[in-house]
Amino acid sequence: MSLLKTATISPCLWFDDQAEAAAQFYVGIFPNSRIHRIARYPAAGQEVHGRAAGSVMTAEFELDGLLFMGLNGGPQFRFTEAISLQILCDTQEQVDHYWQHLGEGGGGKPVACGWLRDRYGLSWQVVPRRLCELNNDPDPVRAARVFGAMMNMVKLDIAELERAWRG
């Protein structure tokens, strides 16, 4: 059964012409991931889409159970930090894994506070679930210490966040 029939909402990511390469890159990083199908531009409508017949139009792929569509739509639009994909991690090993692999291959750029831009310009937030717990501590002093520590980090470090929480 195709996920397209069961999912109501799924992200469509606009690429210039790297949808298939991006899908392969992401599928290689996340567990339980695969490419579902690659669709190609037909000759019909070429006066509108401007793409060579047979070139990749879309790449439908799944990342750990979430369906994505990559569209090769041309250079008119670029990703910005106005939207990012958040990865909630249970361990520091997971944080390190995603941070390392999403930043590989040139073009990847660490930003701040767990944010990272990958080689395709897509922004990711690599976030330990523990940060969410610590930031929501009912003690505002503890929560503020955690927030202050996070603001001084690029890649998030669970042990450092917990040290800040403890004071």
Q: Tell me: the pLDDT tens digits for 92-105?
A: 999 999 999 999 87
pLDDT tens profile 71-88: 999 999 999 999 999 999
Domains 1-77 and 79-167 share a fold: yes
pLDDT tens profile 7-23: 689 999 999 999 999 99
Q: Which CATH class is domain 1-77?
A: alpha beta
Residue the block writes with tokens 């909402």: 9
What distance in Å separates the CA atoms of residue 69 and residue 11, rounded to the nearest whole number?
6
Task: Estimate the crossing angle of helix 158-166 against helix 140-151, to 10 degrees.
Answer: 140
Q: List, in order, residues 6 or more apart from 6 with CB less than 8 Å away.
A: none
Architecture (CATH level 2) of domain 79-167: Roll (3.10)
* Ranges of each domain in the chain: 1-77, 79-167
Structure tokens belonging to residue 65: 């159970």
